[in-house]
Structure 1
Amino acid sequence: MFTFDQLAGFIAVAEELHFGRAAERLNMTQPPLSRQIQKLERSVGAELLQRDNRKVQLTHAGVAFLDEARRLLALAERAPLTARRIASGRSGLLRIGFTAASGLSILGPLLEEIATRLPDVDIDLQELVTGEQVQALQTGELDLGLARPPFDGEVFDSHLLYRESLVLAVPTGHPLALLGRDIDNDELKDEPIIMHSPLQARYFYDLVIRTFPVQHGNVVHTVSQILTMVSLVAANRGVAFVPHSATALGIHGVEFLPLAGSKGEPVELHAIWNRKVENPALGRLLTELEYQME
């Protein structure tokens, strides 16, 4: 196998087409340079240079090998820098899970921040519900999740990224939309409800059940995605409790009304990660997030 010194010697001779000038450029004498080229040709199994007392020329094999030699040498020179950047967290790959609703609020600004702070870090995005993110974080398939509480504090650490209110999505022209005020709980008792799935959207299901007097008999559809809920509202299938960020969907035929029964901004979105974090890029990102939130 050839060495990087042999590659550097060959490149110098190929560019100078003169052993003496190449040896001077490499701060060495001509005889060891000639031996390097001979060893390289034996390793490659082809004559790379034609030389006589008057001139040096590249063979056809030498012309082809020159491009590859330059590429190999450039890679060798970049490799230590790349390794240092990855070890420091400035390069590498971050695998980020996000819920569909987080794509309407914090995901875009977060990706912009990562691009600004860590421009050489590649991002792999995966849209997953919170339960799927938790599993992927435990198995190491994800580095960071944008998910809803609660989390196992012994396994995961987290940062609150975003809070928002719950609002009521109703079809355009619905009688509740004509009231011009916050909607009281007792005004919802006869409304057909498009409800969150207790399995795939457990966070929103529990939040709504705790806050509003939802009657099981009023539930006409059970779905897991906010986009699906709002689309069903637009189709006049019922009303739905959704996070305020759903107003950004821009779906025609839907109005969003404030709810008197919703206190403050109960909908939370957290950045969560496994405490046994090993990805340097994630460690660096967490430092940036902590600085922002102080």
Structure 2
Amino acid sequence: MFSLDQLRAFVAVAEELHFGRAAERLNMTQPPLSRQIQKLEKSIKVQLFKRDNRHVALTPAGKAFLTEARSLLAHAQSAPELARRISDGSSGLIRIGFTAGSSFGLLGKLLAEISAELDGISIDLREMVTTEQHSSLELGLIDIGLGRPPADTRMFDTMTVGREDLVVAVPVGHHLCSLGRPISPQDVAAEPMVMHSPIKARYFYDLSVRAVPTSSDNVAHTASQILTIIALVSGGHGIALVPESSKVMGYQGVDYLEFKGDIHTPVELLAVWKRGFDNPALERVLDLLTRRFSTTIKA
């Protein structure tokens, strides 16, 4: 295998096309330089130069090898600096898992702040429901998740990064729009409901059944994604309780009405990460989140 010193010797001779000038450039004498070139050619089993007593020229193989040699030397020069930047968190990759709901408001702003404040950190986004985020965190497939409570605080640390109210999504022209006041649980108790899935959207399902005294007879459809629920409401299949940030979707055919429950049950969004992580770039992202959000939850 060839060495970096042999590559430097080769590049110097290839650029100078003169062993004497190349040796002077490298602060060495010509015989050791010639031996470096001979060792390199022997190592790769290719003649790199045509040479006689008066001229030095690159062979076709030498011309091709020069491009790669320059690239290898450039990488060798930049690698230590890159390693230092990754070690101190100024460079690196953050893999973020996020729910569709978190993309309505927080995700875009967070990405803009990371780009503005944490130059050099790349982001890999992966949409997944909260339970998938927890599994991926445990397996090391993502570094941080943006999902819904709860999280296993024996394994994960969490930070509350969003809190908003539930609103009632209704088809445009629905009779509840004419009440002229916040909607109460009693107002919607007998209405056909588009419900969150009790399996794939358990968090929203629990919030809804606590907020509204509905029964299975009132459930017209169930869905796991808020976008699907809004689409069903728009099609006149029922009404639904959704987070207030759903308004930014701009879905036609839907009105959003203020909801006033007997118990205030805000919708929360958590940043979740695995304890004992070893990604320095994540430390910088967490510092940014801590500065922006005051509520930190740790076991």
| TM-score, normalised via structure 2 length | 0.94
Equivalent pair of 2:190/2:214 in contact (CA under 8 Å): no
> Shift of the alpha carbon at 1:160?
0.9
Q: Deviations 1:26-69 (Å, cap 9, x if unpaired)?
A: 11111111111111111121211122222211111111111111
- 2:44 matched to which residue of 1? 44
Give the counterpart letter for 2:85 in structure 1: R
State the secondary structure of the residue aligned to 2:9: helix
Structure 1 unpaired stretches of 5+ = none
Distance 1:113 1:193, change over 3 A: same
- 1:158 matched to which residue of 2? 158
Q: Deviations 1:213-270 (Å, cap 9, x if unpaired)?
A: 1222111111111000000000000000000011011111000000121766711101
Q: Deviations 1:8-30 (Å, cap 9, x if unpaired)?
A: 01101111111111111111111
- 1:216 matched to which residue of 2? 216
Give the counterpart letter for 2:98 in structure 1: F
- Once residues 111 and 103 of structure 2 are traced to their aligned partners in structure 1, the CA distance between those partners, rounded to angstroms, is 11
Q: Deviations 1:183-212 (Å, cap 9, x if unpaired)?
A: 122211221000111111111111111122
- Once residues 111 and 176 of structure 1 are traced to their aligned partners in structure 2, the CA distance between those partners, rounded to angstroms, is 38
State the secondary structure of the residue aligned to 2:121: strand
Compare 44-53 and 111-120 and name the one that shifted more: 111-120
Give the counterpart letter for 2:29 in structure 1: T
Equivalent pair of 1:165/1:262 in contact (CA under 8 Å): no
- 2:129 matched to which residue of 1? 129
Q: Give me the identity figure in percent.
A: 56
Equivalent pair of 2:211/2:265 in contact (CA under 8 Å): no
- Once residues 96 and 243 of structure 2 are traced to their aligned partners in structure 1, the CA distance between those partners, rounded to angstroms, is 21
- 2:249 matched to which residue of 1? 249
- Once residues 57 and 237 of structure 1 are traced to their aligned partners in structure 2, the CA distance between those partners, rounded to angstroms, is 79
State the secondary structure of the residue aligned to 1:170: strand
1:236 aligns with 2:236: yes
Q: How does 1:1-294 map to 2 (within 5 A)?
A: 1-261=1-261, 266-294=266-294
> Shift of the alpha carbon at 1:152?
1.7
- Once residues 293 and 198 of structure 1 are traced to their aligned partners in structure 2, the CA distance between those partners, rounded to angstroms, is 30
> Shift of the alpha carbon at 1:90?
2.2
Distance 1:97 1:76, change over 3 A: same
Equivalent pair of 2:133/2:145 in contact (CA under 8 Å): yes
Compare 86-95 and 2-11 and name the one that shifted more: 86-95
Give the counterpart letter for 1:227 in structure 2: L
Give the counterpart letter for 2:132 in structure 1: E
Question: Once superposed, which parts of structure 1, at least 4 consecutive aligned residues long, lie more than 3 Å away?
Answer: 262-265
- Once residues 264 and 29 of structure 1 are traced to their aligned partners in structure 2, the CA distance between those partners, rounded to angstroms, is 83
- Once residues 292 and 59 of structure 1 are traced to their aligned partners in structure 2, the CA distance between those partners, rounded to angstroms, is 60
Equivalent pair of 2:185/2:211 in contact (CA under 8 Å): no
Equivalent pair of 1:96/1:124 in contact (CA under 8 Å): yes
Aligned residues: 294
Equivalent pair of 1:163/1:265 in contact (CA under 8 Å): no
> Shift of the alpha carbon at 1:293?
2.8
